[in-house]
């Protein structure tokens, strides 16, 4: 049953020499394949590599040269993070057989501390989506109800952690892709400040919004993993050169004197049960000494259109590199260079990715650039100013993560606009570059998890983790009946 233990629990057991890394690896190797046939959380799971790296870790530990207290613990990695020697598909046919020649910086950081790669997780193709249905490897399922989506785009990472297929995981969040699946799968997920974690080796979707973050079954686990991957990286020019103060062991779960803002706009159109669960948690925080302050984030309604112009514009440029020449899928029946481009891209990309490349190319084209792209940038500034204003008065902002709990597979796939709307509460944090965390707040009457979001000012991860830990302490622990 080692696979049911969290990151810090495993670390303590290893430290006391009660278990070995090989035993942990074997527990996952016994559990994952059968569970994956139901949940489809992993695209790539390589038992031989896992056991070999666990044995190496055991040798380090027995010779007294363990790399850290986490040496030997496997974590799941979203399949848009490059892993040397292990394929990195972005859940796309165009990268189906792409094996990167280098590791992302976050992978190097995990390896430097002796952590192991459990496997590569399912996602929406190129991180475009909110349900993990846009995967060319088939949809991932929600461990609480396999007829429902796990959320997206990091749905595989969230589902893997929820279904005990990994103690913790890495994901990426461009508009909510860590927080929304964390909420749907009943786990904790944090999107750090833009620039806090290196994006080097993360396959780019929308570069001004993308950020790598972590999932855990507890706030402490998500924080501990974030502590390992945070920090400056000269290989990423947008990485911020400042000391990270993120510390899982310094969290004490106290909110005394913390000013918590509650934005009215984030409670419009919310499922009634979600609303009442979140409101109860706000009351609980007040009872524990937080000061609750009603606030407004008045430009929230612009977040979706602004995001879908900026993200698609950046994506259309980032995805130009998949041309069938340099790497990835190449169409076999082409007669000249332009048909090679055309056919490789037409056959290699899925429908949603093509839709976004077309929208992005359109909004950047001459004649439309000012009307769409530049206008979206102005809208982004208004949203940034909203947060600046709010954080001059409060330390943290609380809201629901999603307007509904996990929806049914297929329910929204024919209506992209409705799917886009499902990110309404998470996208603004990416536009402003601020950190956000989703922490489980309870279950609705269908037994589906409800997430609570806490946003903080730039580099205030430690503060929002503290609030999250307090929320966690007021909740009964939830886990899926699988
Ligand atoms: N759901 C949003 C989108 O489809 C956000 C995705 C993400 O954060 N990667 O773009």
* Residue 50 near residue 25, CB atoms below 8 Å: yes
In this predicted structure, what is the pLDDT of residue 327?
A: 83
Annotated active-site residue 57? The verdict is no
Map tokens 């929304």 to a residue.
180
The protein residue whose alpha carbon is closest to atom 5 in ligand 1 is 175
Annotated active-site residue 259? The verdict is no
Distance 69 CA to ligand 1 centre (A): 34
Annotated active-site residue 78? The verdict is yes
Give the position, in ligand 1's atom list, of the atom nearest the Cα of 152. 1
Q: Is this structure's pTM higher than 0.85?
A: yes
In this predicted structure, what is the pLDDT of residue 413?
A: 84
Pocket test for ligand 1, best of 155, 210, 311 (most atoms within 8 A of CB): 311
Q: In whole angstroms, how far apart are CA 363 and each of 314, 404, 441?
A: 10, 31, 39
Distance 174 CA to ligand 1 centre (A): 6
Give the position, in ligand 1's atom list, of the atom nearest the Cα of 430. 8
In this predicted structure, what is the pLDDT of residue 402?
A: 97
In this predicted structure, what is the pLDDT of residue 353?
A: 98
Q: Phi/psi zone of residue 394: left (φ > 0), alpha (ψ -120 to 50 degrees), beta?
A: beta
183-233 pLDDT, tens digit each:
999 999 999 999 999 999 999 999 999 999 999 999 999 999 999 999 999
Give the position, in ligand 1's atom list, of the atom nearest the Cα of 176. 8
Neighbour count for residue 114 (Cβ, 10 Å)? 22
Half-sphere exposure of 176 (CA within 13 A, CB side): 31
In this predicted structure, what is the pLDDT of residue 482?
A: 86
Q: In terms of C-beta density within 10 A (0-12 exposed, 13-18 middle, 19 or more buried), how is residue 240 classed?
A: middle
In this predicted structure, what is the pLDDT of residue 354?
A: 98
Distance 152 CA to ligand 1 centre (A): 7
Provide residues with CB under 6 Å of ligand 1: 127-130, 153, 173-177, 205, 311, 423
* Residue 350 near residue 89, CB atoms below 8 Å: no
Of 459, 410, 409, nearest in space to 434 by CA: 459
Distance 319 CA to ligand 1 centre (A): 15
Set 11, 27, 57, 78: catalytic member = 78
The protein residue whose alpha carbon is closest to atom 4 in ligand 1 is 129
Set 11, 22, 162, 177: catalytic member = 177
277-336 pLDDT, tens digit each:
999 999 999 999 999 999 999 999 999 999 999 999 999 999 999 999 988 999 998 999
Distance 209 CA to ligand 1 centre (A): 10
- For each of the chain's 482 residues, which pLDDT tens digit applies? 999 999 999 999 999 999 999 999 999 999 999 999 999 999 999 999 999 999 999 999 999 999 999 999 999 999 999 999 999 999 999 999 999 999 999 999 999 999 999 999 999 999 999 999 999 999 999 999 999 999 999 999 999 999 999 999 999 999 999 999 999 999 999 999 999 999 999 999 999 999 999 999 999 999 999 999 999 999 999 999 999 999 999 999 899 999 999 999 999 999 999 999 999 999 999 999 999 999 999 999 999 999 999 999 999 999 999 999 988 999 998 999 999 999 999 999 999 999 999 999 999 999 999 999 999 999 999 999 999 999 999 999 999 999 999 999 999 988 888 899 889 999 999 999 999 999 999 999 999 999 999 999 999 999 999 999 999 999 999 999 98
Distance 175 CA to ligand 1 centre (A): 5
In this predicted structure, what is the pLDDT of residue 422?
A: 87
Give the position, in ligand 1's atom list, of the atom nearest the Cα of 129. 4
The protein residue whose alpha carbon is closest to atom 10 in ligand 1 is 128
Of 380, 391, 404, nearest in space to 454 by CA: 391
Distance 85 CA to ligand 1 centre (A): 27
Give the position, in ligand 1's atom list, of the atom nearest the Cα of 178. 8
* Domain 1-482 CATH class label: alpha beta
Set 27, 130, 153, 363: catalytic member = 153
């Amino acid at each position: 049953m080692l696979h049911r233990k969290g990151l810090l629990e495993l670390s303590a057991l290893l430290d006391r020499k009660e278990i070995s890394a090989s035993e942990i690896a074997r527990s996952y190797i016994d559990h994952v394949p059968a569970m994956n046939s139901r949940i489809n959380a992993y695209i790539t799971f390589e038992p031989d590599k896992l056991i070999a790296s666990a044995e190496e870790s055991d040798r380090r530990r027995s010779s007294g040269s363990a790399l850290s207290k986490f040496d030997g613990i496997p974590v799941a990695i979203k399949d848009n993070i490059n892993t040397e020697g292990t394929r990195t598909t972005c859940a796309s046919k165009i990268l189906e057989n792409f094996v990167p020649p280098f590791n992302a910086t976050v992978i190097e950081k995990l390896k430097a501390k002796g952590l192991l790669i459990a496997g590569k997780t399912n996602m929406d193709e190129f991180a475009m989506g909110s349900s993990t249905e846009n995967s060319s490897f088939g949809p991932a399922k929600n461990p609480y109800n396999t007829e429902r989506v796990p959320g997206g785009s990091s749905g595989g990472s969230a589902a893997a952690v929820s279904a005990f297929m990994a103690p913790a995981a890495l994901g990426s969040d461009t508009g909510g892709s860590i927080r929304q699946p964390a909420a749907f799968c009943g786990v904790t997920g944090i999107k750090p400040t833009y620039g806090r974690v290196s994006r080097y080796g993360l396959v780019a979707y929308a570069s001004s919004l993308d950020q790598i973050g972590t999932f855990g079954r507890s706030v402490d686990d998500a924080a501990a993993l974030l502590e390992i991957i945070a920090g400056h990286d000269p290989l990423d020019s947008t990485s911020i050169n400042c000391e990270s103060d993120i510390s899982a062991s310094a969290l004490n779960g106290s909110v005394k004197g913390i000013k918590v803002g509650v934005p009215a706009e984030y409670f419009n159109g919310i499922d009634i049960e979600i609303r009442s669960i979140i409101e109860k948690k706000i009351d609980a925080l007040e009872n524990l000494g937080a000061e609750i302050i009603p606030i407004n984030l008045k430009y929230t309604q612009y977040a979706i259109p602004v995001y879908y112009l900026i993200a698609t514009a950046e994506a259309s440029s980032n995805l130009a590199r998949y041309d069938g020449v340099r790497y990835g899928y190449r169409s076999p029946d082409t007669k000249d260079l332009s048909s090679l481009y055309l056919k490789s891209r037409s056959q290699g990309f899925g429908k949603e990715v093509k839709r976004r490349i077309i929208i992005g190319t359109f909004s950047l084209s001459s004649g439309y650039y000012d009307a769409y792209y530049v206008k979206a940038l102005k809208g982004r500034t208004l949203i940034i100013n909203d947060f600046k204003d709010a954080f001059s008065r409060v330390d943290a902002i609380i809201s629901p993560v999603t307007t509904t709990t996990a929806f049914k597979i297929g329910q929204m796939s024919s209506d992209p606009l409705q799917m886009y709307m499902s990110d309404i509460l998470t996208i603004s944090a990416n536009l402003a570059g601020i950190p956000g965390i989703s922490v489980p707040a309870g279950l609705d009457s269908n037994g589906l998890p409800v997430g609570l979001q806490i946003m903080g000012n730039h580099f205030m991860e430690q503060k929002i983790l503290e609030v999250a830990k307090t929320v966690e302490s007021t909740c009964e622990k939830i886990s899926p009946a699988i």
